[in-house]
Structure 1
């Protein structure tokens, strides 16, 4: 059956102290200010992160052994790419929504991981893939061979002679490489809908039985396992693009049901689109990834022009607040579907550090993709942006995964964590310093943003204000030193709060070296 209209679904002091952090000079910090979900979240591809048993594949026990690393880095939550049983390496085609992939461990392992994470005040968000299942899921296998299957209604079907099939089959989505979305079942006159590819048949959310099954799945992970939230894959594609209102309503409905299981439920959605398309989803998904800002940060560093970054961000956040005043702006530099930020910036370490500085001082609740903090490299195909994490030199690295031979991130191209910890100027220590700075500042964590024009296109300047804390942030996104004069209305920002690479204030003038930052406080 085709997806039809969805009806009746929607339910109704700053304490300052002097400090020196690696690679950075800091004059003042506040006591801990951030509180998740406004803190920093770390995305993990389990298979590539840490191996505990020597089989070459990352696993849950390996992740558990690295929780102290994550706590020390300053992250307050982890987002795990899919951990359910699946026939693929990436596991976005699920065969059992109630299980753990055996390569990763057991349910007992996962519950212990959650327990240990919570002891360290780290929340656990798991990828929940509800737009589609695997074509090897028992539901689909039964539905495909039997038109009277109790699971037939769980999927979307059409007859091969339906004239609408050809029209719809040629639709191409912005985040799908496929031009054909209807797929054959051997020996059948019916086709099934799979937006991404034939191995991922779309679930039919017009089916009341399917919706109840999805609610049951969500309640299981919240109440019986103890996760803190879901990252919702392909949130824009629950219904076709011509039914956006049904998509928006579905997520309100889903969130209301999940709140019955966990009143503090956290849902973050993947909607690959500009802000005008993203915004309506905020009523059901109060946290959404800000892909636009990730593109704009990379563009600013590539072009050496940052004067419009804060303007763009303010426009987006003000727009989103008009839809949901409590929205969570999940900002990123890259993720498992994008070229890594280091490679996007042509492996320029100075630009990569500046990208981190921008991410962690602009508004939002930042997500870090595993390995960004050590400068991992990678361009598509997808396997090459999901390569093994480097914990130590190869000969010493007992946690390194070997399920694939890396192309971009090797001992010759990227320094391991162990090596970077010893280098005060490493990108690892840069990230750690910026995360600490942000976590200890109410203005950087919660404050509004006001763009400031200082007469230099290569300068990204803005104020961040929260309660009685006001900061002036100035970044030089060019490869040359810039000097800027503070206008009279900004001259009361007279205390250096944070600076990098020898940036300095001389009365009412700032001297900002290439790819450097300075933050002033009133």
Structure 2
């Protein structure tokens, strides 16, 4: 079928840098010896045609997936034409923009084209992001470091969380626990909103230029950022610009003055006079207390630019997580990202999005995304068994094929957050399932992200149950899950294959074995997961996945058995570049 031969230059060719082009291709599973033929259409007589073997990094029941990263010898990628050559059914075949051909002359005439790679067209990859381990902090529940700023209605620390109660967490509390984060191996933190607001979650912003008094002051944020940077920890804040609080002064001006308000076009108002009702104005998820902001308004754009400029310049933070990013105009996100990088070219924007983030990332609107998409794939198989292992492999492969390698390496890979049930609860208290999920989270390209308390096995249903107070004692280093995650964190921050290695996925369906490989030159990290009901010998694993087991060392993790086999429902991690 022609659909099994697929390459769309708009989707499958991506400028990784000014000199690198990430090129991806799908072919029928039976195809072999796939090559990229690429040349400069202006200088092809002098430079010739390059013939580059493509890497077959995954295959499913019907398709083979290929990719390569081509490096230009010129200062930038320009004036390129290319075509694909492969063998199928004993014949040489060519694929170009016009379709399939069996003679070389036609593919050259109808070649795919890449005219020019501009500076802003390339994937922006800050040097610091490749080896990050993220830790999400819900400030109100992490640590109370300054009781003087506690609200008058603060309840005792550890009280069961509700949607309304406050327990006194603040910025000083985070500062007090930086040694803990360093011991765990954390080198990037993302803070839920800290600007002035009414609620305990602070997503109903009242003042974008002030720290909420119950969290501290701008001086506290400056000190937090400075102390984090001394430890090699990056700091990202939540930016809630899709909506604000109902009591924000600008929206209240609209409520009080109606069509005469200078801010009437800052919001999506349908009917005057404005009252507290989702039928009168657009709000996030029809929640009337959070009116939606019109980011297409030039005045609003400048207002948001002023917000990010102020906090980046005044405190030195390293970027933003944009709340509900898929509801914000894409054109505005591109402008915002450009503005953020004018202040600091190494600052990043992470999108909150619960589905495919390709359009946001490819457009340059954001640099990374909260990877709920990948999380869903893993949960559907490992936790719910709602799909077969073949379907799991096919979905994971399609997910990885959508992105350039550089884009995958920037993803924010999470298992839980303030908007989900705790991962221990979601796992049904099955620690073996949780360990498999964590291993996948760290093996797949991107940056693993922990939600505070998950390293201690916190349980809790969705909001508010997932927002309990952090438990502080001196025995965390003896908790197996904490040690397990610390080991993975050390691996991620020291092993080049896990940071930037190319991805290979392999399924041995008859044995219910699955392999995730990361390869960086001669360095390899391979995790083999045994989803069967019986132990598997390492010798069998070497055979089905083409591994020379003797060239690897087994990483030492809690819960793994020492014999040369993998127990049912467990995994083994093989390294040829051990710690």
Alignment TM-score, normalising by the size of structure 2: 0.68
Residue 293 of structure 1 aligns to a residue in which SS? helix
Residue by residue over 1:15-46, the C-alpha shift from the partner in whole angstroms, topping out at 9 and shown as x without a partner, is xxxxxxxxxxxxxxxxxxx9435411100000
The structural deviation recorded for 1:271 is 1.6
Tell me the equivalent position of 1:384: 465
The CA distance in 2 between the partners of 1:310 and 1:435, in whole Å, is 25
8 Å CA contact retained: 1:314, 1:450: no
Task: State whether structure 2 residue 389 is matched by structure 1 residue 333.
Answer: no
The structural deviation recorded for 1:78 is 0.3
Tell me the equivalent position of 2:262: 150
Q: Which of structures 1 and 2 has the bigger CA Rg?
A: 2
Tell me the equivalent position of 1:134: 245
The CA distance in 2 between the partners of 1:502 and 1:153, in whole Å, is 60
Task: State whether structure 2 residue 314 is matched by structure 1 residue 224.
Answer: yes
The CA distance in 2 between the partners of 1:103 and 1:73, in whole Å, is 27
Structure 1 pair 130–96 and aligned structure 2 pair: CA distance change class (3 A): same
Tell me the equivalent position of 1:17: none
Structure 1 pair 306–70 and aligned structure 2 pair: CA distance change class (3 A): farther
Q: 2:382 aligns with which of 254, 279, 301?
A: 301
8 Å CA contact retained: 2:131, 2:447: yes
Equivalent pairs, count: 425
Task: State whether structure 2 residue 571 is matched by structure 1 residue 516.
Answer: yes
The structural deviation recorded for 1:128 is 0.4
* Moved beyond 6 Å, runs of 4+: none
Tell me the equivalent position of 2:553: 496
The structural deviation recorded for 1:286 is 1.7
Tell me the equivalent position of 1:195: 284
Q: 1:453 aligns with which of 480, 499, 507?
A: 507
Structure 1 pair 302–91 and aligned structure 2 pair: CA distance change class (3 A): same
The structural deviation recorded for 1:475 is 2.1
8 Å CA contact retained: 1:310, 1:362: no
The structural deviation recorded for 1:472 is 2.2
Tell me the equivalent position of 2:484: 430
8 Å CA contact retained: 1:279, 1:319: no
The CA distance in 2 between the partners of 1:237 and 1:186, in whole Å, is 23
Task: State whether structure 2 residue 475 is matched by structure 1 residue 419.
Answer: yes
The CA distance in 1 between the partners of 2:384 and 2:441, in whole Å, is 17
Residue 442 of structure 2 aligns to a residue in which SS? helix
Tell me the equivalent position of 2:56: none
Q: Which runs of 5+ in 2 are unaligned?
A: 1-126, 151-166
Which piece of structure 1 moves more, 481-490 or 190-199?
481-490
The CA distance in 1 between the partners of 2:250 and 2:194, in whole Å, is 19
The structural deviation recorded for 1:112 is 0.7
8 Å CA contact retained: 2:140, 2:215: yes
The structural deviation recorded for 1:81 is 0.1
Tell me the equivalent position of 2:339: 257
Residue 518 of structure 1 aligns to a residue in which SS? strand
Tell me the equivalent position of 1:19: none
The structural deviation recorded for 1:237 is 1.0
Task: State whether structure 2 residue 196 is matched by structure 1 residue 103.
Answer: no
The CA distance in 2 between the partners of 1:493 and 1:463, in whole Å, is 14
Tell me the equivalent position of 1:57: 168
8 Å CA contact retained: 2:529, 2:569: no
Residue 95 of structure 1 aligns to a residue in which SS? strand
Structure 1 pair 373–310 and aligned structure 2 pair: CA distance change class (3 A): farther
Tell me the equivalent position of 1:470: 524
Q: Relative contact order (C-alpha < 8 Å, sep 6+): which is higher?
A: 1
The CA distance in 2 between the partners of 1:187 and 1:470, in whole Å, is 58
The CA distance in 2 between the partners of 1:489 and 1:91, in whole Å, is 49
8 Å CA contact retained: 1:127, 1:233: yes
The CA distance in 1 between the partners of 2:183 and 2:319, in whole Å, is 22
The structural deviation recorded for 1:280 is 5.6
The structural deviation recorded for 1:220 is 0.6
The CA distance in 2 between the partners of 1:271 and 1:73, in whole Å, is 27
Q: 1:487 aligns with which of 523, 543, 557?
A: 543
Q: Which runs of 5+ in 1 are unaligned?
A: 1-33, 161-183, 239-246, 393-417
8 Å CA contact retained: 1:503, 1:513: no
8 Å CA contact retained: 1:479, 1:515: no
The CA distance in 1 between the partners of 2:344 and 2:431, in whole Å, is 42
8 Å CA contact retained: 1:236, 1:271: yes
Residue 474 of structure 1 aligns to a residue in which SS? strand
8 Å CA contact retained: 1:44, 1:80: yes
Tell me the equivalent position of 2:398: 315
8 Å CA contact retained: 1:279, 1:320: no
Residue by residue over 1:455-498, the C-alpha shift from the partner in whole angstroms, topping out at 9 and shown as x without a partner, is 45643312110122122221234665334442277232422241
Tell me the equivalent position of 1:174: none
The structural deviation recorded for 1:348 is 1.5
The answer to which structure has the higher strand fraction is: 2
Tell me the equivalent position of 1:178: none
Tell me the equivalent position of 2:324: 234
The CA distance in 2 between the partners of 1:279 and 1:212, in whole Å, is 21
8 Å CA contact retained: 2:433, 2:569: no
Tell me the equivalent position of 1:395: none
RMSD in angstroms over aligned alpha carbons? 2.7
Structure 1 pair 110–457 and aligned structure 2 pair: CA distance change class (3 A): farther
Residue 347 of structure 1 aligns to a residue in which SS? coil
8 Å CA contact retained: 1:127, 1:232: yes
